[in-house]
Structure 1
């Protein structure tokens, strides 16, 4: 029975990783809204965590990250997934287990600002080329980015709740 559970978790991670990879490939094909499509791909590691546990989420994230760096023609989208949208569901899971709202908020904002700094200094030409005004208004980037991130986190929480109620719980009832 235990080996069957592990096999199911690996199969779930593989299925969600494949779906994430398809969505990431679509992000290369769409002319606008690439960041939004990459964000959608980042929802699937969260589904893996909810349905299979944190190890399944890590496996989904790792497989998608490695394969996207190898297969995607636009490495910028792969890096965006690798460093933020794919990783954030795992960070969110770990932080929200603390159960202290203020500490959770501080840690999430710390993660976001760290990644924004990495994108700014490490990958400026790749990620911020779409925002030419960002170079002249760096002082606006962080406050506005934090507000947008908090809205993203709130929406992400709502989507996870929707997934739990509409997909995960009915699947679990069907297994009994």
Structure 2
């Protein structure tokens, strides 16, 4: 992930604009959904990954920034927009950068450090906003970190598989069309 495959110019700008709009739509759906809001915010983070794969790292940051800032302005549930900005929207670019590290242990150490930094910010700084849904059994910080890290590893592995699917199916079609 990270090499631009889509041509430069208007086509690339249009692709990134469409991906940012799709990300914003899914982010809005997370705010009006009665359940699975965290999962829907995670899905909104898939679109910047498409921008990174098809148009490069800069395009991914642009897609993320546009959807995130518009999300703060337009999405009724600001916590979802903030969660997108703090982690799910930013993750595709961080993942791309961290997967360039020369060793697998360094890559995973960086990924876990990034996730735990965001989790720490949410736990200590924004707990009332982000973590009110936690069951009473998970009120101890060590339990939140343990469960969070397991969930993150599963999320990252699944996200990698989703990116591989995008490269094989969607990006392939986009390259033929450009």
TM interval, short-chain normalised: over 0.9
**What aligned pairs does 1:1-176 form with structure 2 within 5 A after superposition?**
5-133=8-136, 136-175=139-178
Measured against aligned partners, the alpha-carbon deviations of 1:50-106 in whole angstroms (never above 9, x if no partner) come to 011111101100101110001111100000100000000010001111232110000
Following TM superposition, where does structure 1 have runs of at least 4 consecutive aligned residues deviating by more than 4 angstroms?
Answer: none
C-alpha separation in 2, matches of 1:90 and 1:14: 17
Higher helix proportion (structure 1 or 2) = 1
Tell me the TM-score normalized by structure 1: 0.93
Q: Distance in 1 between matches of 2:47 and 2:8?
A: 19
Residues 138 and 144 in structure 2, CA contact (< 8 A), matched pair in contact too: no
Alignment RMSD (CA, Å): 1.4
Q: How many residues align?
A: 172
Tell me the distance in 1 between the aligned counterparts of 2:55 and 2:76.
30
Counterpart Cα distance in 2 of 1:159 and 1:99: 23
Structure 2, unaligned runs of 5 or more: 1-6
Structure 1: 5+ residue runs without aligned partners?
none
Provide the rounded CA distance (Å) in 2 between the counterparts of 1:113 and 1:133.
21
Distance in 2 (CA, whole Å) between partners of 1:171 and 1:90 is 20
Preserved CA contact (<8 Å) 2:31 2:37: yes
